[in-house]
Structure 1
Amino acid sequence: MVRAPETDDERVAPESLVDAAAVDDLLGVTPADVEAAPELTFARNVFLPLTTACRYTCTYCTFYDVPGEATLMPPEAVREQLRIGADAGCTEALFTFGDAPDERYTAVYDQLDEWGYDDVLDYLYDACEMALDEGLLPHSNPGDLRERELERLAEVNASMGVMLETTADVDAHSGGRRKTPERRLGTIRAAGEAGVPFTTGILVGIDETRRDRAESLLAIRELHERYDHVQEVIVQNVVPNERSDFERPSVETMRETVAMARAALPPAVSVQVPPNLSPTRELLDCGVDDLGGVSPVTDDYINPDYAWPALDELERIASEAGVPLRERLPTHERYLPAEFRRGSVDPAAGTWLRPTIRDALDADDDAGRRYRALLQ
């Protein structure tokens, strides 16, 4: 089964979210205008690329495979990877795949049908249940979704996410199946409507301008101000790969972009850079407070040429910056139930986690105790 095309009311026009004067103000921000964070956090995860099929063909992406070559992790492989992650002390199961494949991926849909699933989102739901069974909290990045799809997946996810990348129409997203900012923003809005703790971010270096970056950050801020659901914003630089001739952005470009992110976003929203892709040490004084998910057992399947740093490397980075390094859960603390928050954490309004996830946090088993130990 292939999902029907999105309707107009499931999209958000970027221009409806951004005030020109606010953009001008943000463009004036420099690294000198922000402060370094008092600590760095990260999540220990196991990375599961559920499928490499994707409806989009972004020119900088090495993750997707064309029809006939796309892979689909079988259930037994998912279960085995989850067990390896749990044994390594991970708390997060990161499920990532391209946006729901279109009708070209007949082999993927035939396989899903053979396994008893209507589509890849049904399979993702069961994979998340497997993760919970094995003692891991799911965090899913399944691309553009409707509100009802997000609400269903929230039953078995501690948090979810999708990269906005940019509000600009760039050639990197061109083609007959182009990725549009309207759909991405619609998904971020839908996550707010569904009450899902959410991660998003921007991609730097795909021919967007500095003004485009400012507009993208302010669009994220506007949606967060409506729903209070964005827990972190990733500022990710593009990296060279076999499909892309985009140059890695300069350190100075990344410093000014991270500083703009820190200035644009409320203090409770983390600013993250991926430590295997970014010049992390040079960015810490610009307001970075999170290093994202790092896996001790799996590759970064989206950027396979760039290995995760080991935990001792993260500790060196934090030590050189003079700040503590703290491991966190995939759900940031302000979205946890009151009994799991530290007293100093300003809670978000509303009830965010569904019963299945709350029960996992409260369970009297090794996994529950491992989760709660990170909240001491």
Structure 2
Amino acid sequence: MISNQIPQPIPARPILSSTIPSRTITYSPAYTLVPTYECFNRCTYCNFRVDVGTQGWLSIAQAEAQLRSLPPSTCEVLILSGEVHPNSPQRSAWLQHIHQLCQRALDLGFLPHTNVGPLSHQEMQQLKAVNVSMGLMLEQMTPNLLQTVHRHAPSKDPELRYQQLIQAGELKIPFTTGILLGLGEQVDDRIASLETIAQIHAQYGHIQECILQPYSPGTSETRMGQGFPLEALPELVHTARSILPEDITLQIPPNLVHQPEILLACLEAGARDLGGLSPIDEVNPDYPHPTAAQLRACLDPQGWQLVPRLPIYPQYDRWLVPPLDAPLNRWRSLIQSLPIGNF
């Protein structure tokens, strides 16, 4: 049993200010907790899921042990889960378990960010109380993928995910979304998906980041093609930057964009964030994240400065419910004790 006494927070270091110079690239020092890999969806390209009923859930005690072992520079805890069917008798217990994991992360001084698939309005409202931000990939708005890579993945219905972005806006949840590239969509589909994100943000103003994530075949899956051609990514970054409002930060995953010249070209085209850097990319386990030091070795000579950030951008601090104020303010206000390069 875990004691009801709230432990002392893990020492934290503050992240950057709200003003980001044009040659600054951000990332979040992060760690991923997976409540369960079990998922009722069967996307043809997935390297994450296991069949329902084949694994247990991560216990609160196991999660706490993992979190207590992390370096003090870790600010974000990403809660990333396989999905329980909305009509499953386990759905309520699954959501409560996620809520408890978020609360425990908060108790230990971390800032939770949850991405566990489409949720109801009530479920999102419950998790807002224990998260500084949340996320869900729009992936692609075209329904054509429901006949191919998503034919056995009901929660990948574009309309369902579209409504999720709207619900997040209605609830004033700082949100991360994005598009997945190379699933069989057309160029016009990518444009339409980006325009959809821009339209929703224009109404609610809640989307912090848009991820451009190239599909990269893994070793453990049934391959569905060669994925997205990385040499085309800088042009897409440029296009996305012209479509999306300036206050949506464009993010690219450096473990999937592993060619330095392409990574640098994406930055020149308008990408400004590299996402959460954690020990393992649970979604793409065959593509380990580079360290911040490795990225700086690539970026510094070209005049880019890599700096850490929080999983909530400063302009959204006012949206948080009161119990989240204390851990957030602690991160915002503590004096940084180590040079940036030591993160």
- Which bin holds the TM-score, normalised by the shorter protein? 0.7 to 0.9
Q: Select which of 189, 204, 214 maps to 1:227.
A: 204
Summarize the alignment of residues 155-170 of structure 1 with structure 2, pairs less than 5 Å apart: 155-169=129-143, 170=145
Alignment of 1:209-288 (within 5 A): 209-241=186-218, 242-243=220-221, 244-278=223-257, 279=259, 280-288=263-271
- Within 1, Cα distance between the matches of 2:54 and 2:214? 27
- The equivalences for 1:1-376 within 5 A come to 37-85=22-70, 87-101=71-85, 109=90, 118-169=92-143, 170=145, 171-175=148-152, 177=154, 179-241=156-218, 242-243=220-221, 244-278=223-257, 279=259, 280-295=263-278, 298-336=279-317, 351-363=318-330, 370=334
Identity %: 34
* Aligned-pair CA distance for 1:303: 0.9
* 1:313-370 Cα deviation digits (max 9, x unpaired): 121232143121111000012212xxxxxxxxxxxxxx4111111122235xxx6755
CA positional deviation for 1:101: 3.7
TM-score w.r.t. length of structure 1: 0.77
Gaps of 5+ in 2: 1-20
Shift in Å at residue 60 of structure 1? 1.1
Shift of 1:134: 0.8
Question: Are the structure 2 counterparts of residues 81 and 283 from structure 1 closer, same or farther at C-alpha, using a change threshold of 3 Å?
Answer: same
Deviations 1:97-136 (A, max 9, x none): 12334678x8xx4xxxxxxx94211111111110011110
Partner of 1:21: none
- TM (normalized to structure 2)? 0.84
Code of the aligned partner of 1:334: Q
Verify the 8 A CA contact 1:55 1:102 in the aligned structure 2. Answer: no
Cα deviation 1:183-222 (Å, max 9, x = unaligned): 0011010000000000000000000001000000000010
Tell me the equivalent position of 1:19: none
Unaligned runs of 5+ in 1: 1-35, 110-116, 337-350
Question: What is the SS of the residue equivalent to 1:50?
Answer: coil
Task: Specify the code of the residue in structure 2 equivalent to 1:253.
Answer: A
1:265-291 alpha-carbon deviations (Å, 9 max, x no partner)? 111110000111124233211111000
**Preserved contact between residue 43 and residue 91 of structure 1 (Cα < 8 Å):** yes
How far residue 69 of structure 1 moved from its aligned partner, in angstroms, is: 2.0
Question: How many pairs were matched up?
Answer: 310
Deviation at 1:159, TM superposition (A): 0.4
Which has the larger displacement, 239-248 or 299-308?
239-248
Compared with structure 1, are the counterparts of its residues 234 and 93 closer, same or farther at alpha carbon in structure 2 (3 Å cutoff)?
same
* Code of the aligned partner of 1:97: S
Deviation at 1:83, TM superposition (A): 1.2
1:91–1:371 CA contact under 8 A, matched in 2? no
Cα RMSD of the aligned pairs, angstroms, is 2.3
Cα 1:282/1:248, change in 2 over 3 Å: farther
Query: Once the 2 structures are TM-superposed, how far is the Cα of residue 372 of structure 1 from its aligned partner?
Result: 7.9
Q: 1:299 to 1:371 in 2, by over 3 A?
A: farther
Contact 1:284 / 1:321 at 8 angstroms: preserved in 2?
no
Change (3 A) 1:102 1:362: closer
Query: Is contact 1:43–1:292 with CA below 8 Å preserved after alignment?
Result: yes
- Are the structure 2 counterparts of residues 89 and 239 from structure 1 closer, same or farther at C-alpha, using a change threshold of 3 Å? same
